[in-house]
């Protein structure tokens, strides 16, 4: 009996020791790790990788032929054309000027009479502007007034006023300007403007001439102040295909006048008084 108890105690002790050993040999998952045998195993070393700088991209591949050079185009040459200066009142050349450079001789059924015949025959520009005469010369009565740079003529037949500037032709230009407008002045309107005082020896135009002169700056600039009083005048007039010629009060000078618009003709150009 005593021996049996000893055997049981020994067996019980071994069982408890085994249990304790089993419990103590299990690693705790949270505190122990299995380390790879990289350093413990002799003869194994880690490979050392050397990092090289990233190569810069190259536009030319080693085995590729270089691209062909582009041809260099010459810069365009800019040519600045000088525009001809048109004289004051000069009409623009026709669109087909090249084809009219050598016009055929002008043939008219009749030639103008005196005092227009000599100018039409001897001045090529006058003949070119006027072309053939229409009928016989006419006579118009009216009022004439001389100005610093031209004249005004009031035509009684249609109560209209012609303003003729010669400011440009006095400076050597081949042509000058004229304007044609109705006379709208009536009795009871202002005869003149007292606030406008002319220089010594000059006059302010009055009545119909004065109304046109004061209302239009281009008229004042074109002819200036009056140099004399109005005078009754009888002028000679010849119509042409391209315009008309007219004289001053005493048959001279002669103006070669070409309109730049349609009837009743409000403006145009004229040659220097002849």
More confident residue, 84 or 139: 139
Containing 252, the helix (H) or strand (E) segment is none
Mean pLDDT, residues 231-257: 96
Mean pLDDT, residues 247-257: 94
Q: What is the pLDDT of residue 192?
A: 95
| Weakest-pLDDT range from 45-54, 196-205, 209-218 | 45-54
More confident residue, 97 or 259: 259
Q: What is the pLDDT of residue 106?
A: 86
Q: What is the pLDDT of residue 146?
A: 98
Q: Are 232 and 226 in contact (CB under 8 A)?
A: no
| Weakest-pLDDT range from 23-27, 114-118, 126-130, 215-219 | 23-27
Q: How far is CA 55 from CA 52, 60, 62, 222, 267, in A?
A: 8, 13, 14, 82, 82
> Given a cut of 60, is residue 199 above it in pLDDT?
yes
In angstroms, the CA 194 to CA 189 distance is: 14
Rama region for 127: left / alpha / beta (φ>0; ψ in -120 to 50; rest): alpha
Q: Long-range contacts for 162-166 (Cβ within 8 Å, ≥24 apart)?
A: 163/212, 163/219, 163/222, 163/223, 164/223, 164/255, 164/257, 164/270, 165/89, 165/222, 165/223, 166/272, 166/273
Q: What is the pLDDT of residue 103?
A: 59
Identify which of 95, 112, 129 has the alpha carbon closest to the alpha carbon of residue 242: 129
> Given a cut of 90, is residue 86 above it in pLDDT?
no
Mean pLDDT, residues 101-122: 86
Q: Are 178 and 270 in contact (CB under 8 A)?
A: yes
In angstroms, the CA 49 to CA 52 distance is: 9
- Reduced to 3 states (helix: H, G, I; strand: E, B; else coil), residue 178 is strand
In angstroms, the CA 268 to CA 240 distance is: 15
Structure tokens given for 56: 């810069």
Mean pLDDT, residues 13-18: 48
pLDDT tens digit string along 130-158? 999 999 999 999 999 999 999 999 999 99
Mean pLDDT of the chain: 77
First to last CA, the chain: 177
- Reduced to 3 states (helix: H, G, I; strand: E, B; else coil), residue 111 is coil
> Given a cut of 70, is residue 43 above it in pLDDT?
no
Q: What is the pLDDT of residue 250?
A: 87
Burial of 174 (0-12, 13-18, 19+ CB in 10 A): middle
Mean pLDDT, residues 246-259: 95
């Amino acid at each position: 009996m005593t021996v049996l108890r000893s055997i049981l105690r020994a067996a019980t002790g071994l069982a408890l020791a085994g249990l304790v050993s089993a419990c103590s040999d299990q690693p705790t998952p949270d505190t122990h790790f299995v380390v790879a045998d990289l350093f413990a195993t002799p003869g194994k070393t880690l490979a050392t990788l050397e990092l090289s700088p990233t190569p810069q991209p190259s536009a030319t591949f080693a085995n590729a032929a270089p691209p062909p050079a582009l041809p260099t185009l010459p810069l365009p040459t800019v040519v600045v054309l000088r525009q001809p200066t048109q004289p004051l009142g000069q009409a623009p050349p026709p669109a087909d000027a090249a084809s009219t450079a050598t016009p055929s001789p002008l043939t008219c059924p009749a030639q103008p009479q005196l005092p227009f015949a000599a100018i039409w025959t001897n001045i090529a520009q006058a003949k070119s502007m006027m072309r053939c005469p229409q009928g016989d010369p006419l006579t118009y009565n009216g009022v004439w007034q001389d100005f610093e740079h031209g004249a005004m003529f009031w035509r009684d037949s249609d109560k209209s006023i012609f303003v003729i500037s010669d400011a440009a032709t006095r400076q050597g230009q081949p042509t000058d300007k004229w304007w044609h407008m109705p006379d709208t002045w009536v009795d009871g309107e202002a005869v003149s403007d007292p606030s406008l005082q002319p220089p010594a020896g000059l006059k302010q135009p009055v009545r119909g001439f004065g109304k046109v002169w004061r209302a239009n700056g281009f008229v004042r600039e074109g002819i200036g102040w009056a140099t004399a009083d109005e005078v009754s005048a009888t002028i000679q007039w010849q119509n042409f295909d391209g315009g008309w010629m007219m004289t001053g009060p005493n048959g001279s000078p002669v103006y070669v006048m070409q309109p730049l618009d349609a009837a009743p003709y409000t403006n145009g150009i004229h040659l220097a008084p002849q």
